[in-house]
Chains A and B, each alone.
Chain A
């Protein structure tokens, strides 16, 4: 099994710390808030670990980008994944869904044999949700996106896909690609043994030449969409706080206020 994991700015960082540099169209990383593995990707690792728990197998995690902090990107290993490959080179950075997926797909081709590829449903930074579909398209694989449960039985994956009013149970032959949603449940915590193992584990680093790609096809150079502008929407901060001696009295005042403005 293969799991794609992205290092992102911590999405749980307080919104007040979020800043965009208009000159570069980039987010200024907040001071003192370390990056994390994108939460949906952690849940993709969890989905792979559950299959491993039930059926055995080996999990290889692939990360991509620049400035990948080893303590961050090794987390899947400390959770129980087996190997870590990093596509770490400036050429891989700042791609869109397509150029990022192209690099990942070529790395997966180099890895060779696999039954399942797991990705998070979308990354916590660009919220695009395309990399999984693009990898599947490049590798000619069937994909099931936005999964809440994944089981492997008799050479097939049985996947519960989140739908607007519940979920669909989908069967797909292997190999296949699956993207994982938060409904899967929380990712497990690393174990002490896992953390010790991750310390000793050195990631394999691949450059564009190692996976046989031209740097012009990946990262920012390979984009099919260009970022024209990144900005923070202006908020109208005008909350009217209803106060009273007791919370119960405040509640009554709020109800009256809402009635007065015809919101009730």
Chain B
């Protein structure tokens, strides 16, 4: 039975992404329990130089597929080269991040390999008896969790950002680097990226912010988000939103926090006029402290928050921002 773990080490802005380090951290434990080793695969153009950082993050072996045709993500090219690497490595488990790329790549790769994927996992365990993977994923918009088993190999899973812990990078770790030729036929890449449009708000990135202030349906319009910006400025935080606020175009879609948006894990999350649907909480339940301001005492957010005020945000927020400013000035 295949025992190793293979991690798709996604590259963002010329570096191994944080989710790749998290997957390697978690993959080490899984590989040990299965009695196998841990490999990473780097795919892209000019990515070979990143192999040492994948080894430092925990990989025993790094497969490198470096080809100019892989500069932009395309389903056809990435599935094709990963199929090749998986067949060469024959792992028991293949892990990817639940990212824009991972969401697209994991199911297609799994089906190409005649197996199946479990998406958006928040826990991965190895059954001690069978040594097989048992992934846990939130379902029903976060209202429930499901644990699955696989009938086929390899067992493919995508993992939600920030639920696994990376290893402290160890530059003294030794590992093997295996170069794999992409062998791509450009004509077989059926989708073409013709333009990349950046839409993210200026300032601190949502996923990196220590404080996130989000507004929901109860903001009533785009104007209120200026008040959230004001508080974010004072706290050096970022402004997010629930899906209804994004769907109403009060704030760009890139600021959406939730199951279909971003996952944030700040020290402080302030939810303003957000009801606290399961789908929203899926994106912020990892925050250390959640604070809620909502008019409705029955709102679900009060079941999730540590501190709360039942009241109109229009009255609460300006006074809160002023007091925070005063406290931070001391």
Determine whether B20 belongs to the interface, using a CB cutoff of 8 Å to chain A: no
The reply to whether B311 and A145 contact each other, CB–CB distance below 8 Å, is no
Determine whether B99 belongs to the interface, using a CB cutoff of 8 Å to chain A: yes
| Contact residues in B for A53 (Cβ distance below 8 Å) | none
The reply to whether A251 and B150 contact each other, CB–CB distance below 8 Å, is no
| Contact residues in B for A240 (Cβ distance below 8 Å) | 306-308
The reply to whether B253 and A233 contact each other, CB–CB distance below 8 Å, is no
Distance from B102 Cβ to chain A, minimum over Cβ atoms (Å): 11
Type the 1/0 row for B251-287, where 1 means its CB is closer than 8 Å to any CB of A: 0011000011010000110000000011100000000
Task: Among A121, A142, A186, A255, point to the contact of B191 (Cβ < 8 A).
Answer: A142
The reply to whether B99 and A241 contact each other, CB–CB distance below 8 Å, is no
Which of A228, A246, A254 has the most B CB atoms < 10 Å from its CB? A254
Distance from B200 Cβ to chain A, minimum over Cβ atoms (Å): 4
Distance from B41 Cβ to chain A, minimum over Cβ atoms (Å): 19
A264 and B119 in contact, given A168-B195, A239-B308 (Cβ under 8 angstroms): no
Contacting residues of chain B (103-158) with chain A, CB-CB under 8 angstroms: 103-104, 107-108, 110-112, 115-120, 134, 137-141, 143-152
**In the complex, how many residues of chain B place their beta carbon closer than 8 angstroms to a beta carbon of chain A?**
84
| Contact residues in A for B262 (Cβ distance below 8 Å) | 164
The reply to whether A170 and B194 contact each other, CB–CB distance below 8 Å, is yes
Type the 1/0 row for A129-153, where 1 means its CB is closer than 8 Å to any CB of B: 1100110111000111110100000
A133 and B104 in contact, given A237-B303, A247-B309 (Cβ under 8 angstroms): yes
The reply to whether A231 and B108 contact each other, CB–CB distance below 8 Å, is no
The interface-forming segment of B22-30, B44-52, B166-174, B313-321 is: B313-321
A127 and B327 in contact, given A143-B75, A170-B191, A233-B145 (Cβ under 8 angstroms): no
The reply to whether A166 and B323 contact each other, CB–CB distance below 8 Å, is no
Which B residues are within 8 Å of any A CB, using their own CB?
75-76, 99-100, 103-104, 107-108, 110-112, 115-120, 134, 137-141, 143-152, 190-200, 235, 243, 246-247, 253-254, 259-260, 262, 267-268, 277-279, 288-289, 291-292, 300, 302-312, 315-320, 323-324, 327-328
Which A residues are within 8 Å of any B CB, using their own CB?
9, 11-12, 14-16, 18, 20, 27, 96-98, 121-122, 124-130, 133-134, 136-138, 142-146, 148, 158, 160-173, 176, 181-183, 185-186, 223-233, 235, 237-243, 246-252, 254-259, 261, 263-264
Q: A247-B319, A256-B327, A258-B324 are in contact. List 7 more A-B contacts (CB 8 A).
A: A16-B300, A130-B110, A133-B104, A165-B199, A231-B145, A240-B307, A261-B289
